[in-house]
Chain A
């Protein structure tokens, strides 16, 4: 059967794409900070952070906020990007709906886990 004219299908829309680009830009910046801190400011040979270094680092309130924000940006960017790759394969509405649910769940679980981990480390310092 010959191709019919496309009808609009909701999929990646402007707002999701903007989120991908903006999180990408933010990751650029925060990853720089995150990388420098974790690989140069520590007491372990090579600049790595020891356990004590990590706990001390997280006592400054800016840090948990920055790292949790970083986690949210990276997980969002990664999952929206994966979803884009999936969209390139022309999924059916049902397949897309399944992926939407799955990726949302993975995203939420990852962020919740990350917040739990951060708060655990913060509490080790008191």
Chain B
């Protein structure tokens, strides 16, 4: 079967993440999708690691020591900023789906992302400034 170019197909999924020549809405779509995947990964890692609690005080102390490693701290900061972006954009999606703020949804998105960035900066200072 000859493949006609421009046909919609699941193999085009990489195009989801291509923001070139698109508007800000595509950025919202991309950010929401990437943070969703990242947060899901974090969720299941978090659930598994917490089993250390069941191992008792020493096992958990080992976990507390591990997460002091700067790599982990950076990872946690990524989770925080992902949570902020995903949650705040989700707020826009939820509200617009109920007919609220539709004419201002673009400005709303900018404001929400500004809050997310502010949150990210705040936590960066708290977590990385010695």
Contacts and interface: CB of A to CB of B under 8 A. Distances in A.
A69 interface: no
Interface in B37-64: 37, 39-40, 43-44, 47, 50-51, 53-54, 56-57, 60-61, 64
A117 B50 contact: yes
A81 B36 contact: yes
The secondary structure that dominates the B interface is helix
B36 A89 contact: no
A24 B51 contact: no
Q: How large is the interface on B (under 10, 10 to 19, 20 to 34, 35 or more residues)?
A: 20 to 34
Contacts of B43: 74-75, 78
Contact of B47 (A31, A54, A114, A121): A114
B91 A82 contact: no
Interface string B52-84: 011011001100100000000000000000010
Given A24-B90, A90-B10, A120 B64 contact: no
A16 interface: no
A28 B57 contact: no
Nearest to B46: A74
Contacts of A81: 36, 40
A81 B57 CA distance: 36
Contacts of A74: 43
Interface in B73-127: 83, 87, 90-91, 93-94, 97
29 contacts: A21-B94, A24-B94, A25-B94, A27-B87, A28-B90, A28-B91, A31-B87, A50-B60, A50-B64, A51-B53, A51-B57, A52-B57, A54-B53, A71-B47, A74-B43, A78-B39, A78-B40, A82-B36, A85-B33, A85-B36, A88-B13, A90-B8, A90-B10, A110-B47, A114-B47, A117-B53, A120-B53, A121-B53, A121-B54
Interface of B: 8, 10, 13, 33, 36-37, 39-40, 43-44, 47, 50-51, 53-54, 56-57, 60-61, 64, 83, 87, 90-91, 93-94, 97
